[in-house]
Amino acid sequence: DLMARLDGIACSAGAACHAGGAQVTAVLEAMGVPCETAVGTLRLSLGRFTTGDEIDRAAEMIAAAVSDPR
């Protein structure tokens, strides 16, 4: 599981579950993302004090995790 390998990064699945089933979030729907793609998206959270260096490090960690076919 990708999210399990992203220790220290605030993230969650891009599609939220509503009434027991996966449903595309309003943002992804507005972007025209199909449901089958939306269920594989990653939602990231930034805080007021998140630095550019922290964002760069998170991007590096995500890229490394995606490239590693565990």
CA distance 44 to 14: 9
Contact 54, 31 (CB under 8 A): no
Annotated active-site residue 17? The verdict is yes
Burial 18-27 (b: 16+ CB within 10 A, else e): eeeeebbbee
**Catalytic choice (17, 46, 55, 63):** 17
Q: Say whether 52 sits in a helix, a strand or coil.
A: helix
Q: Which residues are catalytic?
A: 17
